[in-house]
Amino acid sequence: MLPIKPIQPYPALLLRRKAERILVVADLHLGWEALLIQKGVHIPSQTPRILDKILRLIKKCKPTRLIFLGDVKDAIAKVEMEEWRDIPNFFETINKKVPDIQVVRGNHDGTLEPLLPETVKILPSTGVVFGNVGLFHGHAWPSPELLGCRSLITSHIHPMVAFRDPMGFRMTRQVWVKAACDGERLAKSFLKHLGAKVTSSPSTLLREQFNVRLRVSQLFIMPAFNEFLGGRPINERRRGKDAKSRTFIGPVLRSGSVDIDNAETYLLDGTFLGTISQLRKFG
């Protein structure tokens, strides 16, 4: 999966460039269990376990920077009681090990600021560029600058693969997804979204309007760091129009520029499972 290497068997990436080492994790959804507690299901807070796992990764990878690629916390809009206690402590502990922490905003990170130490930088959902790699959460469009990156890394859909056996039992496994992305087609959708009339080639327009040279050719989808979460079986066979899930999937995957059928899937330990279309007969 060069040049982007997951840290096996973790749902995490290490991006390296010269002396910089960036650890990337996504979709922690801290406080996810608080919503279940309200419904009478008692699950102890998973935050200490997730913190432990991140501290182990920091010890292993010695990152110079840590990027949280969206959905650090779970509750949308209002801040739950649990989060007031857990999240500041979570970030302060990590911050002692890695001084440079960035959070790329996801759809669940609306009221994150009061929970974070001032040293943690919150970046907009339009993402961040690191060399040839553009990172964004995936629920919203990235900035034009990211279309100048060869590889895009996104999260948000918590990708997994489902297998059903002849008895009807179903199991799911988290996966990495690596897909080819048609840059011209992506740029066209992006420019249309901005209200531009795309009469000439999208790459020319992108250069004229934003001074960005179109380079996107592949897209990686990261599994969620919180393994308790449900996810999207990307090999499921859809019946009829699934309007709600199409909205959830986000504008880049919806643009038709990402070759989902031929996308490669890998387990967290690096095992190559096959392409999504090959796996559909098991979904």
* Measured distance CA(56)–CA(49) in Å, rounded: 11
Give burial (CB, 10 Å; 0-12/13-18/19+) of 198: middle
248 binds Mn ion (CB under 5 A): no
Among 23, 51, 53, 71, binds Mn ion (CB under 5 A): 71
Instruction: Rank residues 25 and 191 by Cβ distance to Mn ion and give the closer one.
Output: 25
Pick from 65, 149, 81, 77: which is nearest to 109 by CA? 77
Terminal Cα-to-Cα distance of the chain (whole angstroms):
24
User: Smallest distance from the beta carbon of 176 to Mn ion, in angstroms?
Assistant: 17
158 binds Mn ion (CB under 5 A): no
CA of residue 173 relative to chain centroid, distance: 16
Among 11, 31, 63, 106, binds Mn ion (CB under 5 A): 106
111 binds Mn ion (CB under 5 A): no
Do residues 69 and 104 make contact, with C-beta atoms less than 8 angstroms apart?
A: yes
Beta bridge partners of 172: 162
Instruction: Rank residues 53 and 158 by Cβ distance to Mn ion and give the closer one.
Output: 158
29 binds Mn ion (CB under 5 A): no
User: Smallest distance from the beta carbon of 140 to Mn ion, in angstroms?
Assistant: 10
109 binds Mn ion (CB under 5 A): no
188 binds Mn ion (CB under 5 A): no
Q: List contacts with Mn ion (CB under 5 A).
A: 71, 106-107, 156
